């Protein structure tokens, strides 16, 4: 086969690892595509000719999965970031959008969009992820309560299926494939291009944090904020257990509303819940925005002495996790194992979850952030492959833990994995209705339970678009079949 790009059999270490740094599966080769036909040809070739082969193909975005999802043991990994063509193409007007290559990083889309005074509507907390990678999951952040996840904000996709066919799909054309691929864990096709919805970009952001010691007051306020029309543009939150000098640490980036009271606040020994919100604005609107914020805050029940504010540019706000990345890289703490858990928890179960997990299982949160925030299901589109709980309001709870490689203590991998097992085993209680986000299971029975009533649709779509189960083997959902359909 002749490629516009190249197939590499050496230097494949990068494709044998991911951000999780726990799974290391060596591929047979890595394709660095320069054209769409590089990708469709290799898939078609494997589909057409490999009657008895078990060769698989994994698209690799930025490799920021945590459990080997973008790896292919003895298969071919396609480095999507190599596919730079076509260049980003912007369409301004009433419903602006940008056409991008699926290997593009969201941070690059942000910078390019801002040149047109525009920006995507829905984000992830960290922008050094690819479009194809987040659209294969959902792409959830503090804007999702209003705009839905990133998979809601895509008008059109170009996809190459597991049969090697290049198909353009949208809500109107090839709808089934469009919905299958969104949140589809890479199972039905490789996304080549995406048309992403844009909106006018603000210039500045008021970024606010405040603490609660009462979980009910915290969740009531979060839920009030996501259901109100006069609210913030971003609503998230996180849990902090037994942290010394918490507010003092915030002072490097935030200003206390009441410095004297803030100084007297003691965080150690307590389990605290931090509301994190943001309001977007342009400099000329500053006074009005301050009044709006005061009105919204006056209806909330946080601990008054813990209100902190900051004013940053829109880019600095969206790219905030990159600042932490740089600091962690300097200390050699970025490329460590990341035994993460991400959960979607229905509103009815969030208090039981909090009592058990924050009250009992988790003794401290110093191994990494624990995010918790609600979203409105009514703002999320039906029909995609993403699985969400069966309630109108559900919470994203993310344990973004880092393990110190050589440690045998509380920050070591063994201890954290034991804690994770306890959390996951609690979450399996059927009445809780909890679903994993960025899911990971070891056998098909567990996947069936994850998809529930949607399993038949998922399996039917797999046999339609990737009948030999060539694609995304790292998800461990389907076993590679030969051309006779035998698993
Ligand atoms: C620091 C950090 C912060 C994060 N924050 C958030 C967050 O706020 N919200 C959130 O929702 N997620 C978040 N994530 C998770 C992230 O969205 C997923 O891990 C995502 O898969 C990473 O994208 P990637 O480009 O690295 O994909 P990869 O890890 O390379 O791939 C993920 C899966 O998608 C498949 N895939 C990749 N590209 C394509 C394509 N073009 N077509 C079809 N399938 C493809 C792969 O085969 C694999 O199965 C975060 C991850 C990290 C490391």
Q: What is the atom index within ligand 1 of the atom nearest the CA of 475?
A: 49
Give the H or E element holding residue 351: helix 350-353
pLDDT for res 52: 62
Q: Tell me how far apart the alpha carbons of residues 78 and 213 are, in angstroms, rounded to a whole number.
A: 47
Asked if residues 47 and 467 have their Cβ atoms less than 8 Å apart, the reply is no
Asked if residues 375 and 140 have their Cβ atoms less than 8 Å apart, the reply is yes
Annotated catalytic residue 236: yes
pLDDT for res 53: 76
Q: Tell me how far apart the alpha carbons of residues 54 and 289 are, in angstroms, rounded to a whole number.
A: 59
pLDDT for res 366: 86
Q: Which domains does the chain have, with CATH numbers?
A: 89-200 (3.30.465.10), 204-318 (3.40.462.10)
Residues 85-105 as b or e (16 or more Cβ within 10 Å = b): eeeeeeeeeeebbbbbbbbbb
Ligand 1 interacting residues, C-beta cut-off 6 A: 18-19, 58-65, 69-70, 80, 102, 124-126, 129-130, 132-134, 136-141, 185-186, 190-191, 321, 438, 472, 474-475
In the chain, which stretches have pLDDT less than 50?
485-487
Per-residue pLDDT reduced to its tens digit, 162-196: 999 999 999 999 999 999 999 999 999 999 999 99
3-state secondary structure of 104: coil
Catalytic choice (64, 147, 338, 440):
64
pLDDT for res 72: 97
Q: What is the pTM of this model?
A: 0.97
Q: What is the atom index within ligand 1 of the atom nearest the CA of 61?
A: 30
Mutation to probe ligand 1, out of 40, 59, 322 (largest number of atoms < 8 A from CB) = 59
pLDDT for res 487: 43
Q: Which residue has the CA at smallest separation from atom 37 of ligand 1?
A: 133
Annotated catalytic residue 45: no
Per-residue pLDDT reduced to its tens digit, 314-372: 999 999 999 999 999 999 999 999 999 999 999 999 999 999 999 999 988 889 999 99
pLDDT for res 50: 63
Residues 6+ apart with CB under 8 A from 461: 176, 180, 184, 187, 188, 385
295 burial (CB, 10 Å; 0-12 / 13-18 / 19+) is: exposed
């Amino acid at each position: 086969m002749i490629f516009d790009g190249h197939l590499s059999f050496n230097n494949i270490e990068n494709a044998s690892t991911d951000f999780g740094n726990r799974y290391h599966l060596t591929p047979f080769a890595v394709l660095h595509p320069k054209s769409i036909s590089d990708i469709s040809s290799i898939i078609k070739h494997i589909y057409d000719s490999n009657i008895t082969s078990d060769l698989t193909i994994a698209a690799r975005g930025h490799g920021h999965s945590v459990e080997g999802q973008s790896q292919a043991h003895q298969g071919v990994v396609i480095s999507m970031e190599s596919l730079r063509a076509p260049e980003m193409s912007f369409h301004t007007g009433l419903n602006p959008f940008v056409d991008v290559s699926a290997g593009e990083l969201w941070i690059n889309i942000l910078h390019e969009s801002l040149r047109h005074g525009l920006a995507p509507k829905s984000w992830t907390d960290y922008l050094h992820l690819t479009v194809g990678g987040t659209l294969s999951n959902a792409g959830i952040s503090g804007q999702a309560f209003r705009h839905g996840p990133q998979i809601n904000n895509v008008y059109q996709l170009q996809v190459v299926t597991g049969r090697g066919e290049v198909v353009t799909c949208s809500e109107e054309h090839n709808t089934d494939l469009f919905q299958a691929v969104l949140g589809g864990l890479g199972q039905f096709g490789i996304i080549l291009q995406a048309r992403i919805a844009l909106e006018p970009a603000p210039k500045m952001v008021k970024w606010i944090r405040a603490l609660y010691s009462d979980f009910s007051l915290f969740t009531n306020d979060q839920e009030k904020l996501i259901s109100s029309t006069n609210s913030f543009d971003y609503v998230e939150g996180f849990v902090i257990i037994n942290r010394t000098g918490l507010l003092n640490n915030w002072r490097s980036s935030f200003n206390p509303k009441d410095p004297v009271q803030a100084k007297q606040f003691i965080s150690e020994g307590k389990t605290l819940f931090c509301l994190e919100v943001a309001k977007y604005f342009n400099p000329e609107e500053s006074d009005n925005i301050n009044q709006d914020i005061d009105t919204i805050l006056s209806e909330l029940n946080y601990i008054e002495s813990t209100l902190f504010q900051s004013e940053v540019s829109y880019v600095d706000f969206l790219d905030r996790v990159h600042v932490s990345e740089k600091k962690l890289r300097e200390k050699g703490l970025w490329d460590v194992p990341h035994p993460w858990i991400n959960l979607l928890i229905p509103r009815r179960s969030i208090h039981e979850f909090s009592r058990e997990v924050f009250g009992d299982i988790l003794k401290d949160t110093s191994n990494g952030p624990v995010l918790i925030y609600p979203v409105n299901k009514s703002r999320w589109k039906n029909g995609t492959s993403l699985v969400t709980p069966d309630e109108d309001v559900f919470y994203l709870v993310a344990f973004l833990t880092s393990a110190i490689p050589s440690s045998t203590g509380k920050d070591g991998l063994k201890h954290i994995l034991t804690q994770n097992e306890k959390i996951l085993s609690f979450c399996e209680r059927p009445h809780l209705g909890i679903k994993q986000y960025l899911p990971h299971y070891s056998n098909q029975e567990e996947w069936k339970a994850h998809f529930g009533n949607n399993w038949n649709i998922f399996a039917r779509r797999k046999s339609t678009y990737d009948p030999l189960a060539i694609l995304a083997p790292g998800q461990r959902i389907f076993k590679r079949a030969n051309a006779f359909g035998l698993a």
